[in-house]
Amino acid sequence: MIGISYKNIYAVTETFQLLKIPWEWYDPTKSYDVVIAKKNDIPYPLDNLIDLTEDDTFQKVSDLLNNGKMHLHQPDVEYLLDELRTRLKKYITLIEIPPSPWGHPYMVALTHDVDNISAKQSPLRSVCAAAIRCFQQYEFGVGINLLLTRLNLAKDPWDLFVKWRAIERQLNVRSTFYIIPPYTKQECTPHPYRDAHYTPEQKQLAYLQNDGWEVGVHGMNNWVKTESGIVELANIKGSVGNRTHWLLHHDSSWLLLDSAGYEYDTTFGYDDDVGFRAGTTQVYQPKNTACLLVLPLHIQDAALFGKTCWAPSEEQWGEWEKIPCLNLPRDIATNLCKGIFQNTKRFGGVATLLWHYESVVPPRDWKLMYMELVTYAKSEGAWVTTAKNVVDWFRSRRTTMLGYTKEGNKIIIHAHQPPRSKNSPDQKVRLHIDNSKIALINSEYVAGNGYVDIRCDRPEITVVLK
């Protein structure tokens, strides 16, 4: 058993929700295979102590998850967990539930922010700006059609749900659409370009949900006021998750969303970059929340291909500044995204992909890149699905109780799992042991380099050693 002595309860419990292995709080009357603590917090010297005095893994993990880091292109939390895992293996036979389902090396969450649902309902300046960009790309017909649509003289080119359904049916995937709730005036840090409102057809949203897609809230004010969050959540029927418009977020946003009843938030990412703002490939719980989980955002189309975006000023609250985006050619962007997928494959977890609703027609026609990334992830065996499905899988993993006992040459693994959705794949148990030592396992398993992954489809798994 692993015993832990540490003052920050959240930092420990969340670290071990990510590194899903059995542990308990340190009891000086008991003996442990290994103890994790700061040396001065233990009453007597220990030979099996992992000392955090100079290198505090728990605090580093907590800081990254809750504060994030700008322009982070490696999942630093996963590296910290892997380092701790390596140190633990010197003292103990390690058993864990990895952050990827049975049969899949990693997951991809497909998401779309619906900023504009109709040229007819969009502000005139937005339509004119899009038309000008079309003209600059020599898409004269599309640009003229946008302007004529705004005057009710042409078919709306931004009525795209049918197009998205066709694309994703072709790919045999389903995704999440974040919808702006019925418009109310911006309550904080207003910016004229952030102003957005439309009235989606409820039948259209119901059709999506009934056919496997998810609909969530693209919050306008829920990140600054609990009452607004409650109203916005209630006005998008069937929604449980949020992504705030323009990825706006401050220190209290998760607490406000949690209080308003959201099950998850997927705002924490970059407007001007791709990568690992939270340092992790895993869904996690921020501090001081009761239910809310965070699905980190890793890749968005506008950051890859856009030239600039608006961000709150770091110097003065309420002010805005224009900052550069990556503005990459497609081949470089593709390699960058595949690198994120490979990091996710290495450690397990999820890569969250944001492709805006209007990014399948000029002037932001980036659908081929989207299709290429989805096809690539599926070819690698990734579970490509909605944000809610990923969050639900992680929530099930978080509530699974894992333990094990040794009886002679047998290791008996106990995994008490909650009921799961029929669409959710099984978890797996990873036993860190040389697979040449294994004589029998009473469940399906796959041998790896220095470990075996066992399908977690029963409450008790028996491993017989040679």
HSE-CB at 358 with a 13 A cutoff on CA atoms is 19
Residue by residue, DSSP assigns 205-265 as: HHHHHHTT-EEEE--SSTTT-HHHHHHHHHHSTT--EE--GGG---TTHHHHHHHHT-SEE
* Residue 199's pLDDT band (cuts 50, 70, 90): confident
- Mean pLDDT computed over every residue of the chain: 93
Q: What whole-number distance in Å separates Cα of residue 115 and Cα of residue 13?
A: 37
Kindly calculate the radius of gyration of the chain based on its CA atoms and give it in whole angstroms: 24
Over residues 49-58, the mean pLDDT reads 96
Give the residue carrying structure tokens 């709730």: 181
DSSP conformational letter for 436: G
Q: What single letter denotes the amino acid at residue 93?
A: T
The closest of 283, 231, 220 to 261, measured between CA atoms, is: 231
- Model pLDDT, residue 136: 85
Q: What single letter denotes the amino acid at residue 422?
A: K
First to last CA, the chain: 23
* Residue 183's pLDDT band (cuts 50, 70, 90): low
Q: What whole-number distance in Å separates Cα of residue 81 and Cα of residue 15?
A: 8
Per residue in 303-332, pLDDT (tens digit) is 999 999 998 887 777 788 999 999 999 999
- Strand intervals (E) in 267-306: 293-294, 299-300
Over residues 109-117, the mean pLDDT reads 94
- Given a cut of 90, whether residue 253 has pLDDT beyond it is yes
* Residue 92's pLDDT band (cuts 50, 70, 90): very high
Token pair listed for 342: 């490979």
Cβ-contact 336, 391 below 8 angstroms: no
Per residue in 204-238, pLDDT (tens digit) is 899 999 999 999 999 999 999 999 999 999 999 99
Domain with CATH 3.20.20.370 in the chain: 107-113+159-393
Per residue in 329-357, pLDDT (tens digit) is 999 999 999 999 999 999 999 999 999 99
Give burial (CB, 10 Å; 0-12/13-18/19+) of 120. Answer: middle
Residue by residue, DSSP assigns 99-158 as: SS-TT-S-EEEEEEEES-S-TTTS-HHHHHHHHHHHHHTT-HHHHHHHHHHHTT-S--TT
- Model pLDDT, residue 189: 65
Q: What whole-number distance in Å separates Cα of residue 256 and Cα of residue 236?
A: 18
- Given a cut of 80, whether residue 134 has pLDDT beyond it is no
Token pair listed for 348: 């397990």
Which residues lie closer than 8 Å to 378 by C-beta, 6 or more apart?
Answer: 171, 172, 173, 384
DSSP conformational letter for 37: E
* Residue 445's pLDDT band (cuts 50, 70, 90): very high
Q: What whole-number distance in Å separates Cα of residue 303 and Cα of residue 370?
A: 14
Which residues lie closer than 8 Å to 407 by C-beta, 6 or more apart?
Answer: none
Per residue in 25-44, pLDDT (tens digit) is 999 999 999 999 999 999 88
- Model pLDDT, residue 184: 65
Facing residues of 82 across strands?
A: none
Cβ-contact 319, 313 below 8 angstroms: yes
Per residue in 362-421, pLDDT (tens digit) is 899 999 999 999 999 999 999 999 999 999 999 999 999 999 998 889 999 999 998 887
Cβ-contact 430, 453 below 8 angstroms: yes
Q: Give me the architecture of the 107-113+159-393 domain, per CATH.
A: Alpha-Beta Barrel (3.20)
The closest of 197, 207, 267, 198 to 237, measured between CA atoms, is: 207
Beta strands at 95-96 and 427-431: parallel, antiparallel or unpaired = antiparallel
